Copies of this chain bind each other. A is one copy, B any other.
C-alpha cells in the first residue's frame, strides 16, 4: 500500500460530495488501520483488479450524513436507509473509485473496478482482507462522519 494512493481517493470523495451535494467534508489524518475502526450505518464496497495488484475499497457513512447527502442530491429526505439511499451510496462508491482510478492511471497504476455492493446495518464494521496495509481516511462533517478504507495486495 503506497502513500501516493491515498490522495486520489481522499480528494475524490471530497470532490464528489461537494459537486453532487454541495456538502463539505473535512479530511482528518489518514492512518494505518490499527486502532481506529470505521463504524457506520451504510457502506459502499468495491473490488479492484489490476494487472499488478488487486484490492478493495469501502466508503462508510453514518446514517445522518447519508440522509443529508440524499436530501441535497435528490431532494428526498427519507427517515431511514431505504433502497434509494443504498442506490445513492453505490453511485458515490462508483464515482469515488472511478475518480481515483483516473488519477492513478495517469501515474501508471491501472485497475478495473468490479460492481459495487452496499451494506446497511447499524454500527457495522468492515474488514479488508488483503496482504497489504489497510489505510483508513476519516472525514468529519456537520452531519456526521464518513470513512474511506482502501487496501491493495503489495
Contacts and interface: CB of A to CB of B under 8 A. Distances in A.
Interface residues of A, number: 38
A154 B64 CA distance: 34
Task: State the majority secondary structure of interface residues on A.
Answer: strand
Contact of A129 (B58, B115, B125, B151): B115
- Copies of this subunit: 2
A65 B142 CA distance: 40
Given A47-B47, A117-B127, 17 more contacts: A46-B47, A47-B113, A47-B114, A47-B117, A48-B114, A49-B114, A56-B114, A94-B129, A115-B128, A119-B121, A119-B125, A120-B127, A121-B121, A121-B123, A121-B124, A121-B125, A122-B122
